[in-house]
A and B are shown apart, each in its own frame.
Chain A
Amino acid sequence: MTLLADTFPSASRQTAQPGDPGLAATPLRLIDADGHPGADPGRLELPPAPVLRELHRRMVLGRSFDVQATALAKQGRLAVYPSSRGQDACQVGAVLALRDQDWLFPTYRDSVAILTRGVDAPEALALLRGDWHCGYDPYQYRVAPHCTPLATSALHAVGFAHAATLKGEDLVALAMLGDGATSEGDTHEALNFAAVWKAPVVFLVQNNGYAISVPLAKQTAAPSLAAKGIGYGMPALLIDGNDAAAVYAAVRAGVERAASGAGPLLIEAVTYRAEPHTNADDDTRYRDRAEVAAWRARDPIARLAAYLSARGLLDEAGSAGLAEEAQRLAASVRERLSHDVSVDPGELFDHVYARPTAALRRQRAALLAEVADTEPGEDAR
């Protein structure tokens, strides 16, 4: 990838309309919605065939996981599930572009990204199931906990990455954000700190058009979210977020650039959330069905599958094998999350401080005594 700092503005400017100040542009894309080579690749470099095939495979698996998790939420097996269906290319493309030593800072929406990073499915869903706030060891997978307070983890990514610079470590942090989250003060502070410190961070904004019910037009008057990079002295890319190849290429470029010491990159990926905000949301109150149907037709998986098939990189046997693998994953997720959750009330006190305080030890003993006194069958809650 040959993207350099000074090529980013031109990359996004090259498709600007006459009279356009150069801020708004058509999203860059490597593969069009119908599976043909993209009309606006900018300087994005098409990933090699094995990467494209892996992007497709992981999207199929991620979708299967996502559909299963949505079903489990509807059955009450998960407390809540924010689906990323429709954003599959962002979830998978961004994570596969990371190197082993890099870190992912995901939001509540990014369970498929967490899964793609290698976290075991039940661990990835612990927060949303409700057995604990984070089910996996962040250091094992180099994945920060799912973050629900909007934009706050972008600052953690910047601090984490800057610490790597101070310690001389080769490591890049990927900060995930939603379009709504870009209105939060912490997004501004994170972009600014990262730019001033030249921190090795890639910011990926999944612009899915909505923050729950609020459309982007009520969120910002900026010509695009990528345009905000200019104010921070940070290069930015506006890309088609339903093109897994483009997401992969853009994030990879950002990782390489950041790792070279050139500083952060802001990427706005234009995509769409095909499901309601969560299983508890009723999106008919704010979204036209025709709009949803139109975006569902622009499915990121079908797009890459069409491209691969046309080039002999994916055949029927391959597709069938993959479908089977996806079914096995879903069945295992279903199976492993269908057991009743067993919890340890004593653990509530164990990790508040490095060592439980005297007061917490007393409360722990009192709670355990209360639990022990509870009649079998009686609900201790």
Chain B
Amino acid sequence: MTTALHSPAAAGSVLAGTAPAGTVLADTAPADAAPGPDAASPAPVTMAAALNRALAESLAADERVVVFGEDVATLGGVFRVTDGLAARFGPARVFDTPLAESGIVGTAIGMAMNGLVPVVEMQFDAFAYPAFEQVTSHLAKLRNRTRGRVSLPVVVRVPFGGGIGGVEHHSDSSEAYYAHTPGLRVVSPGTPADAYRLLRQSIECPDPVIFLEPKRRYWGKETVALTTDGPPIEQALIRRPGTNVTLIAYGGMVSTAVEAAEAAAGEGWDVEVVDLRSLSPLDEATLTESVRRTGRAVVVHEAQGFAGYGAEIAARLTEQCFYHLEAPVLRVTGLDIPYPPPYLEHFHLPSVDRILDAIASLEWE
């Protein structure tokens, strides 16, 4: 296993070696079925490329959009998500900043106050923490503070999560910090098609959006037409219909959940997979409808379980679906430890087997 700091090549090779990167699922939900303009012959596209296209098309469509951050211009970002944008749109639209995350988000807030639509990149999940004060005290609150007079249509892109063999501080799942903060939207795509659609929707959204990009899925391919048609930003999607148990996932765990559902079918369980897409606000309607139907629920995420996002899901399902439940709502999460080093990360990350074990324990009689 490689331990490169943040070389996308290394991330790719680790992915190929250990993560089910090849299993990116087709964008199967009914709402997605509407064919895009080039649906006739869609080419395979990675999530990184889909995000790049969303940025390029947003920059082209709206002159208020600016893209900036560390290494995003000349280099194209350490994950190459902004590749080619500076050359195409010029230094007034796409630019490198000094190396300071609070500065990036703080100036984005000022730019948005003055009518721009900043899309900023945090280089890695754990390196977004210096910006935490700007995100929680200002980005999330300025609309409320000013009684709706100041709107901050800012998108903060954060490559997040593990599974790429990254050394310390390169694999955090930080969604709960943001989801806990009223005023922020928090979204995370699980597929290339959704990455494209959600990013374009996030850039158009008048609310600030924390856009969590699952690093381990950057290089997974999907053969699909990229289109903004489909579900709105805050709608969850049923990725795989099923009748016995609802498996709830988001971001990098969507593929893992679908893989687990396929494996479970072989053991006689018909598993429905709900991809939340939007962590905040939460589409409770889709979620509770599914769980009332299946009577069982398992939440999956990479982040540590204690006070994690899954706890909120479990609590809401218990409050709203209790009399339909055949078994307690279970969580399959990372361990309650600091993110492990590369040789140990597979012990931490939810796996298909762990998900199957959880499903097996759901009071089947």
Chain A interfacial positions (CB closer than 8 Å to B): 132-134, 137-139, 144-145, 149, 152, 154-164, 166-167, 169, 173, 185-186, 189-190, 192-193, 196, 347, 350-354, 357-359
Chain A residues whose CB sits within 8 angstroms of the CB of B151 once the complex forms: 354
In this complex, what residue of B is CB-closest to A154?
A: B106
CB distance from B313 to the nearest CB of A (A): 13
Show 27 residue pairs from A and B whose CB-CB distance is below 8 angstroms, ordered by the A residue: A134-B145, A138-B150, A144-B113, A145-B142, A149-B133, A155-B105, A155-B107, A156-B110, A156-B138, A158-B103, A158-B107, A159-B106, A159-B110, A159-B111, A160-B111, A163-B111, A163-B113, A167-B114, A167-B115, A169-B114, A193-B100, A347-B147, A351-B144, A353-B281, A354-B207, A358-B281, A359-B284
Q: What are the interface flags for B71-115 relative to A under an 8 Å C-beta threshold, 1 for contact and 0 otherwise?
A: 000000000000000000000100001101011011111111111
Q: How far is the CA of A357 from the CA of B142 in the complex (A)?
A: 17
Chain B residues whose CB sits within 8 angstroms of the CB of A155 once the complex forms: 102-103, 105-107, 109-110, 134
Q: What are the interface flags for B164-196 relative to A under an 8 Å C-beta threshold, 1 for contact and 0 otherwise?
A: 000000000000000000110100000000000
Q: How far is the CA of A192 from the CA of B146 in the complex (A)?
A: 28
Chain A residues whose CB sits within 8 angstroms of the CB of B105 once the complex forms: 155
Quick check: B146 and A189 within 8 Å, CB to CB?
no
Question: Which of A157, A164, A189 is B103 in contact with, Cβ under 8 Å?
Answer: A189
CB distance from A7 to the nearest CB of B (A): 27
- Total chain B interface residues with beta-carbon distance under 8 A: 47
Interface check B66, CB cutoff 8 A: yes
Quick check: A159 and B114 within 8 Å, CB to CB?
yes
In this complex, what residue of B is CB-closest to A195?
A: B98
Quick check: B109 and A359 within 8 Å, CB to CB?
no
Interface check B17, CB cutoff 8 A: no
Quick check: B109 and A156 within 8 Å, CB to CB?
yes
Q: How far is the CA of A352 from the CA of B142 in the complex (A)?
A: 9
Quick check: A159 and B109 within 8 Å, CB to CB?
yes
Interface check B282, CB cutoff 8 A: yes
Quick check: A133 and B144 within 8 Å, CB to CB?
yes
CB distance from A3 to the nearest CB of B (A): 25
Question: Which of B108, B146, B150, B182 is A352 in contact with, Cβ under 8 Å?
Answer: B182
Given contacts A149-B133, A185-B102, contact A137 B113 (CB under 8 A): no
Q: How far is the CA of A359 from the CA of B148 in the complex (A)?
A: 19
CB distance from B18 to the nearest CB of A (A): 37
Quick check: B143 and A158 within 8 Å, CB to CB?
no
Quick check: B281 and A359 within 8 Å, CB to CB?
yes
Interface check B130, CB cutoff 8 A: yes
Q: How far is the CA of A139 from the CA of B110 in the complex (A)?
A: 13
Given contacts A149-B138, A166-B92, contact A133 B103 (CB under 8 A): no
Question: Which of A137, A139, A152 is B137 in contact with, Cβ under 8 Å?
Answer: A152
Quick check: A193 and B134 within 8 Å, CB to CB?
no
Q: How far is the CA of A189 from the CA of B105 in the complex (A)?
A: 11
B118, B138, B147 — most chain A CB neighbours (10 Å): B147
Quick check: A162 and B111 within 8 Å, CB to CB?
yes
Question: Which of B114, B148, B150, B206 is A163 in contact with, Cβ under 8 Å?
Answer: B114
Chain B residues whose CB sits within 8 angstroms of the CB of A347 once the complex forms: 147
In this complex, what residue of B is CB-closest to A193?
A: B103
Chain B residues whose CB sits within 8 angstroms of the CB of A357 once the complex forms: 234, 281
In this complex, what residue of A is CB-closest to B147?
A: A351
CB distance from B320 to the nearest CB of A (A): 11
CB distance from A128 to the nearest CB of B (A): 14
Q: How far is the CA of A113 from the CA of B318 in the complex (A)?
A: 52
